[in-house]
Amino acid sequence: MLPLVYRTIWISDLHIGSTQCQSDVLLDFLKHNESEKLYLVGDIIDFWALSKKMYWTTEHNTIIQKILRKARQGTEIIYIPGNHDENVRNYENYVFGDIVVKISDIHTTVTGKRFLVVHGDEYDVVARHHKWLAQIGSVGYDWLIALNRFWRVFRRLFGIQSQFSLAAYVKFKVKNAVQFISDYEETIVHTLRNENLDGVICGHIHHAEIKEIENFLYVNTGDFVESCTAIVEHHNGELELIKWNKKASEN
């Protein structure tokens, strides 16, 4: 299968160096998708996780090599650090193996639309003011839903009568997660909508989206931890959300 070629690709929240990174899917994505310009929108290498436990597989090495090779072969690569790789923020405008580090960037589409590209943790009130809480809160709610399903089966199997309703707890968590996402989107859009921009392209909350809010395009790249998503710009300037799974490339 020939690689798909886009004008621009945005990926974020890869969390390389943590056990959470879906490195096989990510590598497969990098193999089958090329672009003139590639944005790495933060939380690329997870230094938080690495500082707790050294975890670096050969696949993680291959991913880094693959990205560096793209840069060498002419893809313009811009690395915008996130909060899990915030130490890279000290290297603004440095060039590492043809990859430029920027705190944020303005991307202009082929049709002239202007987007601020930023990781986005600065718009997350929780991450900004309660770093420890954000670290605990990074447990995904999809995971809770799976746990709830398991708990229900388990209870039925063993006839357990439980006062504790995990379902209610999960519902509460999910409601909070949904509320968190909408608060985040609202904060970002309200902060940026008078800045002479057509929209924002960010990551951070691991929830991919292309959505118009009050005439402002809110775009989120998602992650390669749970959803394995990316945002691409086609040669006509159209933005698309892509969900990658390994099977898609085998056809």
The residues binding Mn ion (CB under 5 A) are 43, 82-83, 121, 204
Taking the least distance from each CB to Mn ion, the nearer of 43 and 185 is 43
Taking the least distance from each CB to Mn ion, the nearer of 40 and 166 is 40
Q: What residues does 158 pair with on adjacent strands? A: none
| Spatial separation of the C-alpha atoms in residues 39 and 54, rounded to whole Å | 26
DSSP letter string over 157-200?
Answer: HHT---SS-HHHHHHHHHHHHHHHHHHHHHHHHHHHTTSS-SEE
Q: How many CB atoms lie within 10 A of CB 46?
A: 23
Taking the least distance from each CB to Mn ion, the nearer of 82 and 199 is 82
Taking the least distance from each CB to Mn ion, the nearer of 77 and 127 is 127
Taking the least distance from each CB to Mn ion, the nearer of 85 and 233 is 85
Taking the complex as a whole, the smallest distance from the CB of residue 251 to Mn ion amounts, in Å, to 33
Taking the least distance from each CB to Mn ion, the nearer of 17 and 109 is 17
Taking the complex as a whole, the smallest distance from the CB of residue 55 to Mn ion amounts, in Å, to 18
Spatial CB neighbours of 55, under 8 Å, sequence gap ≥ 6: 17, 18, 19, 49
Taking the complex as a whole, the smallest distance from the CB of residue 187 to Mn ion amounts, in Å, to 15
Taking the complex as a whole, the smallest distance from the CB of residue 121 to Mn ion amounts, in Å, to 5
Q: What residues does 216 pair with on adjacent strands? A: 213
| Spatial separation of the C-alpha atoms in residues 201 and 216, rounded to whole Å | 11
Per the listing, tokens 């970002």 go with 188
Taking the least distance from each CB to Mn ion, the nearer of 70 and 204 is 204
Tell which residue, 103, 79, 77, has the closest CA to residue 8.
77
Taking the complex as a whole, the smallest distance from the CB of residue 211 to Mn ion amounts, in Å, to 19
Using DSSP's 3-state secondary structure scheme, residue 7 falls into: strand
Q: How many CB atoms lie within 10 A of CB 148?
A: 19
Taking the complex as a whole, the smallest distance from the CB of residue 206 to Mn ion amounts, in Å, to 8
Contacts 24+ apart (CB under 8 A), 208-211: 208/241, 208/243, 209/185, 209/241, 210/239, 210/240, 210/241, 211/185
Taking the complex as a whole, the smallest distance from the CB of residue 12 to Mn ion amounts, in Å, to 8
Among the residues of 35-194, which ranges form H helices? 47-52, 58-72, 125-129, 131-136, 141-158, 166-192
